[in-house]
A and B are shown apart, each in its own frame.
Chain A
């Protein structure tokens, strides 16, 4: 079974600054996907970024980037130039590589607050 751990229940950052959210995971799988999802106060889950484990290059999406360390089973999310709209709960998630319809395993979440 896979486990995902987010050790920071809450974090805060000043607007325009950079913040890094931590995530570690445990798996015996060699091929998998990792995700960061954002859940704002509306509670709609929004995909922030995805990383395929077989890719060594870290994924980036505009102000969002990850630091994927496969050997260490670490997958942190860096948010640059933080904006007020980034305030949300952030979940790290794991998915085994396989056929369509694989399940997601979520971490506990990190509540990020961006202060003006």
Chain B
């Protein structure tokens, strides 16, 4: 099956700094990518939909100025957590449906963010 990678897999940053997480589709193109947040023992909560070449669509309650999303190419989307605080510590997962596929989606392995 298709592969989605995320980098880094684990990052620790200090409160007030920014951190960037990359999501790459390695062997297919994706015009759309999804960013989820998952707290321990909880479900995946959709944060935003990343659209190649246009602005991301954010879910209600997600601060677009805090979670900056850029989908600059058909294989790369980035999520930047700006001015991170300890409450932003979480597991961030991206998924990507191959362009033209109706229901297939491939998930990245996730990024664990710890803000100290």
Which residues of A sit under 8 angstroms from B41, Cβ to Cβ? Answer: 89, 109, 111
Contact A101–B46 (Cβ < 8 Å): no
Cβ of B40 to closest chain A Cβ, rounded Å = 10
Option from A44, A98, A103, A105 in Cβ contact (under 8 Å) with B102: A98
What is the chain A residue whose CB lies nearest that of B91? A43
Q: Which residue of A lies closest to B59 (CB)?
A: A103
A103 to B33, CA, bound (A): 9
Q: Are A106 and B43 in contact (CB under 8 A)?
A: yes
Residues from chain A with Cβ under 8 Å of B34 in the complex:
103-104
- Among A45, A102, A109, the residue within 8 A (CB) of B107 is A45
**A106 pairs with B103, CB closer than 8 A:** no
CB pair B109 A101 closer than 8 Å: no
Taking residues whose C-beta sits less than 8 angstroms from the other chain, chain B's interface range is 20 to 34
Report B74 CB to chain A, min CB distance, Å. Answer: 12
A91 on interface, CB distance cutoff 8 Å:
yes
Name the contact of A104 in the complex, choosing from B31, B95, B98, B101 (C-beta under 8 A): B95
Q: Is A100 an interface residue (CB 8 A)?
A: yes
* Known A-B contacts A106-B44, A109-B43; A45 and B103 likewise in contact (beta carbons under 8 Å): no
Complex contacts, B100 vs chain A, CB 8 Å: 100
Additional A-B contact list (14), CB under 8 Å, known A101-B32, A104-B95: A45-B44, A45-B95, A45-B107, A97-B102, A97-B103, A98-B102, A100-B97, A101-B31, A103-B34, A103-B46, A104-B46, A104-B105, A107-B43, A109-B41
* Residue ranges of A at the interface with B (Cβ–Cβ < 8 Å): 33, 42-45, 50, 89, 91, 95, 97-109, 111
